[in-house]
Amino acid sequence: MDFSLNEEQRQFRDVVHNFVAREVKPHAAEVDETGEFNWPAVRKMGPLGLLGLEVPEEYGGAGMDAISAAIAIEELGWGCGSTALAISAHNGLALGPIVRYGSEEQKQRWLPPLATGEGKLACLSLTEPGAGSDLQGGVTTRAVREGDSWIIDGNKMWMTNASVSDLMVVLCRTDPAGGSRSLSMLLVPSDTPGITIGPAEKKMGLNGSPTHAVNFDEVRVPQENLLGEEGRGLQQTLATLDSGRVGIGALAVGLAQAAYEEAVRYAKERRAFGESIAHFQAIQWMLADAATEIDAARLMVYRAAWLKGRGERYTKEAAMAKLFATEVSERVCRNAIQIHGGYGYSREFPVERIYRDTRLMTIGEGTSEIQRLVIARFLLGL
Ligand SMILES: Cc1cc2nc3c(=O)[nH]c(=O)nc-3n(C[C@H](O)[C@H](O)[C@H](O)COP(=O)(O)OP(=O)(O)OC[C@H]3O[C@@H](n4cnc5c(N)ncnc54)[C@H](O)[C@@H]3O)c2cc1C
């Protein structure tokens, strides 16, 4: 067993870290305040491979291994939760299924512009006003075949990147009879007539990550826009979420690392009772717990990514990594605010924003309850 990153992974981490420190982190507060998407930084990500992390090089991607991809998302999370979520969703949720299930023609058409940053981003559209955790039973957006086309009707919710995307991967019901083979994924160009993107949701955090409801009204796409197999949309979605959960776990580790670093810095500076608060055991314990838990979370994320890279089943490990890393991040961010005292509650200090940003991580791409359900099913052989 070898716990160290290889030379290539270390170099990539350093390159991404320096890029994020220069182009992303300094703008995180402004992005949060204004809700402006950080296009200037995202535009520069194409040449670095950040927009096509696991896309094979022949389609314009970086062809990275799964651990390097997780490291990139972790570094982005360390810099800015909003920007990291946009890039994680683009890579893991939208490009991932195209790489895995796309026909040669679909890959040739869509991946190069999306992976190099020539085009805009992509997004995955699963959730609906009445369906989140229970997609099989709840999805009502339907796609009906008419001649050589699919006609899509329905309402989707909470689409990350909807307004900054060229392409939507949309989960639709293609068999009204229901059941586990009644859903399919369709590739829908964002400018197709009949698509209405709602205003940006007003959220608690991640304000620079655009989230929208989207209405599909008789949206017509060619039959060849079916992604993967008809009726296998649920299974393709679950596999996509396994991968996405490694990304969210990594993002949560990055957010926790950023909050922890702020807390260490502040603890050394702030004085009370004649010495820096870093001398108080209560503060030291919070920092020691944070460092320990971040370390464990990072290792779990890397393990899940490693299994994924080896082509092994990693559903349970991805759920464990996502569950643990996101809950650790909440604890670490909460305590980082505690260490800052009153200043931690102020928008002047980054820990307040990081705490709001990390709150989503235990909800998106499967809540903590759903992760426990996935893990328990494996434990109990259900
Ligand atoms: C900022 C943001 C970005 C998002 N981005 C995207 C995106 O890009 N694409 C997309 O498709 N979706 C996206 N989502 C949606 C997100 O994935 C869902 O919100 C999430 O999966 C939970 O679904 P829900 O909100 O419908 O909650 P529900 O499924 O209604 O759950 C409500 C509560 O019930 C619990 N619960 C449900 N079922 C069970 C069960 N069987 N056992 C125990 N507890 C259960 C849940 O854990 C939760 O606590 C985003 C959401 C947000 C807030």
Minimal-distance CA residue to ligand 1 atom 40: 370
pLDDT > 70 fraction of the chain, expressed in percent and rounded: 100
Q: Tell me if 1 is assigned to some domain.
A: no
Which of the 8 DSSP states describes residue 93? I
Q: Ligand 1 mean position to 374 CA, how many Å?
A: 14
Q: Ligand 1 mean position to 146 CA, how many Å?
A: 32
Chain segment 308-336, per-residue pLDDT in tens: 999 999 999 999 999 999 999 999 999 99
Q: Tell me if 205 is assigned to some domain.
A: yes
Ligand 1, atom nearest to 368 Cα: 47
CATH number of the domain encompassing residue 290 = 1.20.140.10
Ligand 1, atom nearest to 93 Cα: 8
Contact 109/167 with Cβ under 8 angstroms? no
Closest by Cα among 174, 64, 49, 167 to 106: 167
pLDDT of residue 379: 97
Q: Ligand 1 mean position to 147 CA, how many Å?
A: 35
Q: Tell me if 361 is assigned to some domain.
A: yes
Chain segment 361-376, per-residue pLDDT in tens: 999 999 999 999 999 9
Model confidence band, residue 279 (pLDDT cutoffs 50, 70, 90): very high
Annotation says 293 is catalytic: no
pLDDT of residue 318: 98
Q: Tell me if 225 is assigned to some domain.
A: yes
Q: Considering 177, 206, 230, which residue would you say is the last residue of a domain?
A: 230
φ and ψ of 22, to 5 deg? -90, -45
Model confidence band, residue 278 (pLDDT cutoffs 50, 70, 90): very high
pLDDT of residue 198: 98
Model confidence band, residue 146 (pLDDT cutoffs 50, 70, 90): very high
| C-beta of 123 in contact with ligand 1 (< 6 A) | yes
Query: Ligand 1, from 157, 158, 197, 236: best to mutate by most atoms within 8 Å of Cβ?
Result: 158
| C-beta of 309 in contact with ligand 1 (< 6 A) | no
pLDDT of residue 163: 98
Looking at the fold, whether 139 and 262 belong to one and the same domain comes out as no
Q: Ligand 1 mean position to 369 CA, how many Å?
A: 10
pLDDT > 90 fraction of the chain, expressed in percent and rounded: 99
Rounded CA-CA distance 245/265 in Å is 30
pLDDT of residue 199: 98
Chain segment 83-121, per-residue pLDDT in tens: 999 999 999 999 999 999 999 999 999 999 999 999 899
pLDDT of residue 73: 98
Minimal-distance CA residue to ligand 1 atom 5: 160
Looking at the fold, whether 200 and 212 belong to one and the same domain comes out as yes
Looking at the fold, whether 271 and 352 belong to one and the same domain comes out as yes
Calculate the CA dihedral of residues 314, 316, 321, 323 and round it to 10 degrees.
Answer: 150
Q: Tell me if 140 is assigned to some domain.
A: yes
Q: Tell me if 55 is assigned to some domain.
A: yes
Q: Considering 103, 121, 139, which residue would you say is the last residue of a domain?
A: 121
pLDDT of residue 352: 98
The domain total for the chain is 3
Query: Ligand 1, from 128, 241, 367, 370: best to mutate by most atoms within 8 Å of Cβ?
Result: 367
Question: Whole-number mean pLDDT of the chain?
Answer: 98
Contact 29/271 with Cβ under 8 angstroms? no
Ligand 1, atom nearest to 171 Cα: 11
Looking at the fold, whether 282 and 376 belong to one and the same domain comes out as yes
Closest by Cα among 122, 187, 196, 126 to 158: 126
Q: Considering 102, 121, 140, which residue would you say is the last residue of a domain?
A: 121
Q: Tell me if 183 is assigned to some domain.
A: yes
Task: Please pick, among 104, 105, 365, 369, the residue that the annotation labels catalytic.
Answer: 365
Looking at the fold, whether 51 and 96 belong to one and the same domain comes out as yes
Ligand 1, atom nearest to 134 Cα: 29
pLDDT of residue 273: 98
Chain segment 21-41, per-residue pLDDT in tens: 999 999 999 999 999 999 999
Burial label for 342, CB within 10 Å (0-12, 13-18, 19+), is exposed
Rounded CA-CA distance 100/87 in Å is 18
Count CB neighbours of 274 within 10 A: 6
Closest by Cα among 114, 127, 57 to 86: 114
- Domain of 215, in residue numbers: 123-230
Model confidence band, residue 151 (pLDDT cutoffs 50, 70, 90): very high
Looking at the fold, whether 365 and 256 belong to one and the same domain comes out as yes
Q: Tell me if 369 is assigned to some domain.
A: yes
Q: Ligand 1 mean position to 83 CA, how many Å?
A: 21
Looking at the fold, whether 26 and 96 belong to one and the same domain comes out as yes
Contact 72/301 with Cβ under 8 angstroms? no
171, containing H or E segment? strand 165-173
Chain segment 207-225, per-residue pLDDT in tens: 999 999 999 999 999 999 9
Closest by Cα among 358, 368, 54 to 203: 358
Looking at the fold, whether 133 and 90 belong to one and the same domain comes out as no
Looking at the fold, whether 240 and 325 belong to one and the same domain comes out as yes
Looking at the fold, whether 138 and 46 belong to one and the same domain comes out as no
Which of the 8 DSSP states describes residue 55? S
| C-beta of 159 in contact with ligand 1 (< 6 A) | yes
Mean local confidence (pLDDT), 178-197:
98
pLDDT of residue 261: 98
Looking at the fold, whether 247 and 374 belong to one and the same domain comes out as yes
Looking at the fold, whether 184 and 72 belong to one and the same domain comes out as no
Pairing of strands 271-272, 275-276: antiparallel
CATH number of the domain encompassing residue 71 = 1.10.540.10
Chain segment 155-168, per-residue pLDDT in tens: 999 999 999 999 99
CATH number of the domain encompassing residue 142 = 2.40.110.10
Mean local confidence (pLDDT), 177-183:
96
